[in-house]
Amino acid sequence: MGLTGAVVGEHRLDFASPPDDVSSVHDFLSDVWTAEPAVSVEDRMALELAIIELASNVIEHATAGIPLTCSLTLAVASDALEARITDDGRPASVDVAGATLPDDMAESGRGLALVQMVVDELRYDRHGDENRWTVRKSTRVA
């Protein structure tokens, strides 16, 4: 991962959808926060929002009706949190840099814009047959 500070913890979840869903991600993050009590509540909430939103999008949009294999890696460093979600689903046709909130009446389309609001960096890359979503959040000094 691209962290500059000393990494103090790394955590990984491998899951498949189906049968797994975002509940598996919620449970994983709960375990991470228990293992990493130095991460502030504000930083936890921001990163959790970003990760859950991305995982939900991956499960909803990348499956094309076929099973999906994913991994979520979360690194906790002295100055930042970084998460990467990889999946073997369809390529995403999104413009991460151009993500904006839709009008108030839209029923969807807010996810990537919300993620950008709560993290310092959001990246999407396609490598071979794999989608890679990376979010990075600088942490607050306690």
Burial of 74 per CB tally in 10 Å (0-12, 13-18, 19+): buried
Q: What's the longest Cα–Cα distance across the chain?
A: 45
Average pLDDT rounded to a whole number, residues 52-75: 86
Which residue ranges make up each domain of the chain?
21-138
pLDDT of residue 126: 93
DSSP bridge pairs for 80: 138
Residue 129 φ/ψ region, left for φ over 0, alpha for ψ in the -120 to 50 degree band, beta for the rest: alpha
Q: What is the Cα–Cα distance from 67 to 17, expressed in whole angstroms? A: 6
| pLDDT tens per residue across span 75-132 | 999 899 999 999 998 888 776 666 554 455 444 455 788 898 899 999 999 999 999 9
Residue 44 near residue 140 (C-beta atoms within 8 A)? no
The reported pTM is 0.84
Q: How far apart are CA 93 and CA 1, in angstroms?
A: 24
CATH of 21-138 given 3.40.50.300, 3.40.50.40, 3.30.1360.70, 3.30.565.10: 3.30.565.10
Predicted pLDDT of residue 20? 84
Percentage of the chain surpassing pLDDT 90?
57
In this structure, what are the phi and psi dihedrals at residue 139, rounded to the nearest 5 degrees? -100, 155
